[in-house]
Amino acid sequence: MAESTGEKLRLAREARGIALRDISEQTRISIRYLEAIEADDYRRLPGGIFNRSFIRAYAKFIGYDENNALEDYARTLRERGESDDEGSKSHHSLVYTDDGNARRSSLRTLFLAILILAALSAAVYFGLRFYQRSQHSPRRSEQRMNDVLHDASITRRSVMILTANQKTKEGQHAVFV
């Protein structure tokens, strides 16, 4: 009996002294998939285009003719009665969509996007204003306090001057300290 695809690849790999781990690390193909290829157990592979890609990468890495490996793979599948496109598994989409509302209004989407951007912009703007006010509030209160003290000292001087003027008018001399 002729050698299978997996046997040919394994013999070529062993002849070059390459370990499955090296192939796995370089091609990013799981070791269990590489072992399945060597055992011609394609049911353990993901199926479809992945099988062909894995065999191509494996053959290329070990220096085996990629086209020969893919032809052997296709021949093996035909002999088993399996399809090259379908593989040994049927795959179903796990993504669920709502086809009833397939035509979403682009105007509605645009409006929602603008509304969200406006809300985010407002949040950033008011957040920055609050932050700036909290940073400047001690300076403002200090300024207010200085203004009050300044006004108080002016008022005190004014009272002293008025008092001194009144005393001078009464004939007394005012003494300024």
pLDDT tens digits along 95-145: 555 555 556 688 999 999 999 999 999 999 999 999 988 887 656 666 676
- Write the DSSP symbol of residue 92: -
The highest-level CATH class for domain 5-80 is mainly alpha
Give the pLDDT band (50/70/90) at residue 58. very high
pLDDT for position 4: 85
Structure tokens given for 13: 């790999």
Work out the mean pLDDT of the chain and round it to a whole number. Answer: 79
Contact call for residues 174 and 162 (beta carbons, < 8 A): no
Contacts of 6 (CB under 8 A, 6+ apart): 37, 38, 39, 40
Question: Which tens digits make up the pLDDT trace of 23-48?
Answer: 999 999 999 999 999 999 988 999 88
Which pTM was predicted? 0.47
The helix/strand/coil state of 149 is helix
- Write the DSSP symbol of residue 101: G
d(C-alpha 151, C-alpha 153), whole Å: 6
Question: Which tens digits make up the pLDDT trace of 64-83?
Answer: 999 999 999 989 888 888 76
Q: Where are the domains of the chain?
A: 5-80, 105-169
pLDDT for position 152: 67
